[in-house]
């Protein structure tokens, strides 16, 4: 199986992403295309980034709202990496050189809805954090095959 980060091997549809903590309520990362409640943008393509196509206005059966994001990963090894991933960034395309993001240090859980287009697709790995630089992420986390 190809190693992928943030992308399901064939197609992933992300309908809703949020982090929450009891005392803080809900902080939405993504809710619906062009929603003012979206706080991050899926803009940090890496690995075999040429093998990832995103449709941010996908309307086929979103979990909530009227749209969701469809990622299609072809695994063609366009950049010879054998993996691909997408960072959700604030501001868009921020690799740690620009002040941005939000202080989520009191948050305790990340929740999201994802489904494959056909069923049977597998997520190899999910990673949170990992951007370095002057304005680096404050924390990292990784979840393997148990998702």
pLDDT (tens digit, 9 = 90+) per residue, 29-58?
A: 889 999 999 999 999 999 999 999 999 999
**Contact 89/44 with Cβ under 8 angstroms?**
yes
Q: Rounded to whole angstroms, how far apart are CA atoms 67 and 60?
A: 8
Task: Tell me if residue 49 falls in helix, strand or coil.
Answer: helix
Q: Which pLDDT score, from 0 to 100, does residue 42 have? A: 93
CA distances from 107 to 26, 31, 64, 97 (A): 9, 18, 22, 24
CA atoms 83, 134, 26, 42: torsion sign: negative
pLDDT of residue 11: 40
What's the pLDDT tens digit per position in 109-132?
A: 788 888 888 888 877 788 888 888
Alpha carbons within 13 angstroms on the beta-carbon side of residue 48 total 20
Say what the pTM is. Answer: 0.77
Confidence of residue 138 (pLDDT cuts 50, 70, 90): confident
Largest Cα span, the chain: 45
Asked if residues 19 and 110 have their Cβ atoms less than 8 Å apart, the reply is yes
Taken in order 44, 49, 52, 54, the sign of the CA dihedral is positive
- Give residue-wise pLDDT tens across range 84-112: 999 999 999 999 999 998 888 777 778 88
Q: Is the predicted pLDDT of residue 9 greater than 70, yes or no?
A: no
Q: What six digits make up the tokens of 124?
A: 């190899």
């Amino acid at each position: 199986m190809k190693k992928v980060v943030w992308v399901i091997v064939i197609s992933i549809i992300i309908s809703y992403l949020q982090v929450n903590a009891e005392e803080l309520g809900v902080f939405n990362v993504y809710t619906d295309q062009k929603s003012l409640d979206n706080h991050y943008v899926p803009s940090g393509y890496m690995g075999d980034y040429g093998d990832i196509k995103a449709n941010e206005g996908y309307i086929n059966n979103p979990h909530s709202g009227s749209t969701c994001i469809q990622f299609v990963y072809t695994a063609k090894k366009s950049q010879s990496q054998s993996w691909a991933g997408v960072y959700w960034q604030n501001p868009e395309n921020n690799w740690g050189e620009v002040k941005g993001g939000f202080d989520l240090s009191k948050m305790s859980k990340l929740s999201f809805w994802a489904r494959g287009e056909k069923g049977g697709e597998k997520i190899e790995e999910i990673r949170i954090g990992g951007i370095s630089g002057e304005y680096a992420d404050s924390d990292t986390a990784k979840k393997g095959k148990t998702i």
